[in-house]
Amino acid sequence: MEEIIGKNIKMNTVREIHDAFDSGQLSPVALTQGYLEVAQKSHHNAFLTFCEKRALAQAKVAERLIAHEGQVPREKFPLLGIPLGIKDVLTIDGVRTTCASKMLENYVPPYTATVVARLEAAGAVILGKTNMDEFAMGGSNENSAFGPVLHPTHSDRVPGGSSGGSATAVRAGLCVAALGSDTGGSVRLPASFCGIVGMKPTYGRLSRYGLIAFASSLDQVGPMTQTVEDAARLFEVMAGHDPLDSTSSLRSKENFVRTCLTVPDWSRIKIGVPNEYFVSGLAPNVEKSVRTALQWFESQGAKLVPISLPHTSYAVAVYYMVAVSEASSNLARYDGVRYGARPSLASETGDLATFYERVRANFGSEVKRRIILGTFALSSGYYDAYYRRACQVRRLIQQDFDEAFKTVDFIASPVSPTTAFRLGEKSQDPLKMYLNDIFTIPVNLAGLPALSVPCGEDSEKLPIGLHLIAPAFQEGRLLCLAHAFERRSA
């Protein structure tokens, strides 16, 4: 971006960009054009679709507002002129939404997801739709029907998934911030791998209207940003009840940015360190970085408390029973009649089985695998043995967190057992890929808020994320803790 907007302008964050707008060093149109040019030339494959006309129209509106007001009207439009990327699992009216699948390759929705509509109402500029694992099923972003996303700094590595396109776009400077979705770690894992901030809110905190469903009881939208403060900005704009989403929380909106920027009362903070999250298989460099981060909290006056989450070992199995069962149900609608790609009329026959076979061929192998597993788990004679039992153990996992939060304020752990792995390294071993989410999955099962904030690098300069977890609806305090940690060397 420097060669396009000028080398003397520092503009990694919303605050810095707005300051540049106010001083006249930069305009929303020039900024948007710069990001579009860089993103369209990028080799990362982070974007699937660009909204050039929409973005420039939004930037022109922002420019007129600033000219009229004399500066950025921050209270009314907290994201005015800020270029964003949107994961291609969220609908935008008139913009192709594919879920990185051939099944929806030509789908153009007539409506906009609530969270995106709220960002646009706050003045944000939507650059385009970011690449992802197909239907958000994957942890490496290698499952996209339109090719894998490359890691922003190490082209031989994965960016993490399923929101890998958003993570790479933010870290590579292709947009200021982006939205992802998190079903089992799909915001936090790529944030950790790419060295940015990624937040999964409490289930119900952000509307799921317009979020194409994978596993409805687990899916949640989350911001992916360069800084914790910017995560708070996006989150504050998007939060609030939505009558279009029956699972949307009725909790009133809060000033998350103000809370984020306050100084923690360290003497009152207790951070739980779960024994089950520091086990064999955890890479030594990851453990070292996380424990160093924990020592910093302790040096500020916070108390570290060893805790146990005894049902953690069941989390991956429970998740991959609940998630695939809900995926089987949600993806049943793509039958080529109501939704999804339909074979050409010339190829249609009177054989319904053949017709469905041709339709379902548009799904990739990982999506097919999960549909088959979920259909089996929900089938007659197996529902009680698999899906119902998984739901019962899920409740035990939730109770583990409930008990832990009676004695601690937060829980800290690694985001992933390793840093970003090589492209193709785990693609032939689904179980190994699934185990990469072992530390993030329990949070989704319990519906809790959590985030990844960079805490170091390994010997190959690959980022490492610190995983911070808070009780339900305590996003403000979570952002405050993460912001303090982020600013530790400032």
pLDDT in tens, 8-56: 445 689 999 999 999 999 999 999 999 999 999 999 999 999 999 999 9
Are 164 and 174 spatial neighbours (Cβ–Cβ below 8 Å)?
no
Q: Reply yes or no on whether the pLDDT at 208 is more than 70.
A: yes
Please identify which of the residues 27, 101, 140, 162 carries the catalytic annotation: 162
DSSP H helices, 42-136, are 52-69, 114-121
Q: Which pLDDT score, from 0 to 100, does residue 8 have? A: 42
Mean pLDDT of the chain: 95
| Pair 238, 24: CB distance under 8 Å | no
What is the amino acid identity at position 198? G
Helices 114-121 & 228-238 angle (0-180, nearest 10) = 110
Q: What is the CA radius of gyration of the chain?
A: 22
End-to-end CA, the chain: 24
Whether the CB-CB separation of 99 and 183 falls below 8 Å is answered with no
For residue 349, the model assigns a pLDDT of: 63
Catalytically annotated residue among 27, 87, 166, 413: 87
42 carries an active-site annotation = no
**Identity of the highest mean pLDDT range in 343-352, 353-362, 378-387, 417-426:** 417-426
Average pLDDT of the segment spanning 316-335: 96
Q: Which residues of 370-381 are buried (b: 16+ CB within 10 A; e: fewer)?
A: bbebbbebbeee
More confident residue, 385 or 413: 413
Indicate the residue type of 114.
T
Residue-level pLDDT at 427: 86
Query: How remote is the C-alpha of 108 from its chain's centroid?
Result: 22
181 strand-pairing partners? 221
Distance (Å, rounded) from C-alpha 391 to C-alpha 323? 11
- Choice among 186, 192, 249, 328 that is catalytic: 186
HSE-CB of 477 using CA atoms within 13 angstroms: 17
Please tell me the predicted confidence (pLDDT) of residue 397: 98
Q: What percent of the chain has pLDDT over 70?
A: 96
Question: What ranges do the domains of the chain cover?
Answer: 2-260
Instruction: Encode pLDDT of 244-296 as tens digits.
Output: 999 999 998 899 999 999 999 999 999 999 999 998 889 999 999 999 999 99
Whether residue 76 lies in the annotated active site: no
Exposed, middle or buried, 394 (CB in 10 Å: 0-12/13-18/19+)? buried
Average pLDDT over residues 104-121: 97
pLDDT tens profile 80-92: 999 999 999 999 9
What pLDDT shows up at residue 186?
98
For 298, other C-beta atoms within 10 Å of its C-beta total 13
Q: Is 162 an annotated catalytic residue?
A: yes
Residues 6+ apart with CB under 8 A from 324: 215, 370, 371, 373, 374, 377
Q: Which CATH entry fits the domain spanning 2-260: 2.40.160.100, 3.90.1300.10, 2.60.120.10, 3.30.2020.10? A: 3.90.1300.10
What pTM did the predictor assign?
0.96
**pLDDT beyond 70 at 107:** yes
The C-alpha atoms of residue 352 and residue 74 are separated, in whole angstroms, by 57
